[in-house]
Structure 1
């Protein structure tokens, strides 16, 4: 089995990288530079792949950034909000059509390398504020990907029935170096510990009973403070 892994350098896709390798899958990893402010994730994706001896490519799609405006991840004039993903203001972190773009590029590489699948680390906790995380979207992409070429490439989502806490547990079982992954959207030197993806990351470790090795900024609330505020900051 050969796959192209969409590898952001984040917690979920890094666990999936280890998971696929553990299953004996031949993996090539693809990261996408779409002009995101948190580019540090790309450096960490490259570093982890080098250590594992996995072929890794970064597709430079920065020219698309002006076309993907209106998101706090691609527009510097829009602030990344603090708080839990359950809050409506997190919609400003939606990058227009991001997953379709990422999966389309990965599918092209899969066809050229005669890979069987494109893998990405969608899990059951991916929030409804992201339209391209819906089951209907994934099913549609899987169908279209199989029609894109005479060689059939399918969409693989091994974690789709798992929570993010389950992903954290699986990563701990596989010895994933979580401190070498990146989640924070704010593009700082350390995880802010306050934005939606940081809160989700911290919540996952807490619920999984896994030690969180992530260095957070001094302004980050404690886990107890987050729990007291129903994970909202």
Structure 2
């Protein structure tokens, strides 16, 4: 007997639109036309409108005067705050995970880092980001605190909602990030003090934040005449 429940029309519309926002197909500022979405999803406008209201509650969609529903624009302050929180959470979770991290999984960490190198060499920054996320998910996988891991997952999702479309680290920061990954693998392999691992992982994340701020400060200021 099949016990799987098929989502209703509102749930389906919510899942599809949400997925398109998070994977970048609908970038920040993208206008959502309800009738067009209804045709694409083979449904009426009502479940699409209800789904958009739910996505507004998730802060994924905003309403702009004279434009209607749009994907929430990039929020720099929210991005910096979220990345700072992620640094703290992942630092602690990775340190806890390191206490019982299986030795045989170290090669998997190295493989993800190697794939990041290959993605950088081919200028596939989206793939680089995906492998980076998988690397970190594995580093804290063996943390026994399930609530903490749920909070990290939620924070990653929030980061995806506030990140600017197409936003990536600069290649110079990507190279340093890869080098830091290899150092973290070495620390886990040697069973170094969890407090050192926590500090290193936290600073690894914060280095990305610092690189973002440095890049921003180096950009020429726009002059309005």
Shorter chain as denominator, the TM-score bin is: under 0.3
Q: TM-score, normalised by structure 1?
A: 0.27
- Name which one, 1 or 2, has greater alpha-carbon Rg: 2
Identify the structure with the greater strand proportion: 1
